[in-house]
Structure 1
Amino acid sequence: MLSVVLADVRARFRAAGLDTPDLDARLLVAEAAGLDPDRIVLGGDRPLDADECARAEALAARRLAGEPVGRILGRREFWGLTFRLSADTLEPRPDTETLVEAALALVRDRQALLRFADVGTGTGAIAVALLTELPNAAALAIDLAPGALATARENAVAAGVGSRFFPAVADFATTLAVGLDFVISNPPYIRTAEIGRLAEEVRRFDPLRALDGGADGLEPYRLIANEAFRALRHDGHLLVEIGWDQEGDVRSILGAAGFVEIGTRFDLGGRARVVSGRRPGSAER
């Protein structure tokens, strides 16, 4: 019976000390049974056949071996949308929604014809989320990994914004198109020496290139800030996600690149999560 299998998996996850044992059990057992996770309780008296029980056991074993639920399912929710994951993509985290919120807060007219770049797009989560909110915008989605861009393209099409999503294989220093309304990025920002101290789920399953920000964790910001300043229209904005202790350094980098009105946006946990700056208007220079 489904309720029995769910209770067993949940108990094993709790005993293993997983951070979210009840949620993980619900998602994985629902996947094994082919049910909506939000309705799994209603189907508690539903019998599971041998194949479904075997699938539930296999999924539970992967979770107990340290594989994140998103990687097991091959997808992750972000901004109310479902994004497919691949080995080339970072798993989008809820805190990154603060970056989307910050960008939308700067848009005066959501119906406007806007052009923006998402640098290091990964799954495309940031760009796709913004395109669903900005119906006349177009996104240049940049990533160094062709596999990531293929995944991002699929996600854009699935969200109904594929015709306004333009992937390009490039790195952080690649010249962007000029005249952009804003540039947005969640770059690698972990110091190289700290990679080995990350949670096992992150070290084993997120791509290293999406984590490693160099010796001081700031090199991607330097590259993006200088290139974005050149590519943005006057009064255009750069927005970047930052690590927990990088606010001051990143604000300084944006200031050195020429940005003004540099600000910080905090996530729901009260941590500095986004730093943004405006390229001055022509009359200000």
Structure 2
Amino acid sequence: MMKILVTGGSGFVGGAIIKNLLQQSDAKIMMWDNRLPKNPLGCYFIKCDITEELPTTKPYDLVFHCAGLLGTESLFKNIKEATMVNIMGTLNILELHRDHGFIVQLNILGDWLNPYMISKRAAENYGLMYRKWYNTRYVSVRPTVIYGPGQSMLQKKVAPTFINAALRNEPIPIYGDGSYMMPLLFVKDVASYIVAIGLNNFNDYAKIDIGSLTHRVTVKELAELVISLTGSTSKLEYKPMRIGQPLSAKDAGANLDLIKGIEEITPFNETPLEVGLQETINYYKGLM
């Protein structure tokens, strides 16, 4: 029986990947995380810290490496921890699977100067190094902006921040002038695409960028759409850009622009933006 590992499986994307796997694979699915998932996912679980000694010396057949320390502004207070988790943790996974298995690592598009992106780029470069010099089967998957049910409020990501403010009729914070483009991806669509890459052993490309082919709205437009869908009386509150973010839409670069060619790898089916947002809104309503 095929053995599949998902690191960071109690997290936002990792949890969605496990749910997708359980629907279409009879493999033995193992989750590694340093915290228990809020809801049972129906897979095996080992509590561990990937920066320390791993719980096994036997590699898995397929690894979805989603474990990582997230945050843009917040990680400036935890730079060393971000380095340990995102880089050293990845090195431990790479070393265990140097000669066996297929690693699909969740990374991120962008080259902003903040601890999260710097550490994720370094981890990706180590993966590419293992692929080149050790012939390790490694692919870096780099989606744009992911939203959906289950996303934590702790990292102040755009969708949960806007939705929770709107549901409370509180001001919605807009950092900068709101013109920054958001190519939004629904988490279930991303999970389905990443799982397809892994199960189909698609190792032709070292890096695979995933961006929305249709859902491109500015930050301001997204906030207005959330207000409309929730029937909120919230107003937009403009604030200076936070540390670690580009100062303007122009400074953000083109790396979050339309991503072409992903259909060449495996079909990418997008949930309509309003449908995905409504499902996400209903999720946060249920938490109130």
Q: TM-score range by the shorter chain?
A: 0.3 to 0.5
Structure with greater proportional helix content: 1
Tell me the TM-score normalised to structure 2 length: 0.38
Q: Flag the structure with larger Rg.
A: 1
Instruction: Identify the structure with bigger relative contact order (alpha carbons < 8 Å, sequence gap 6+).
Output: 2
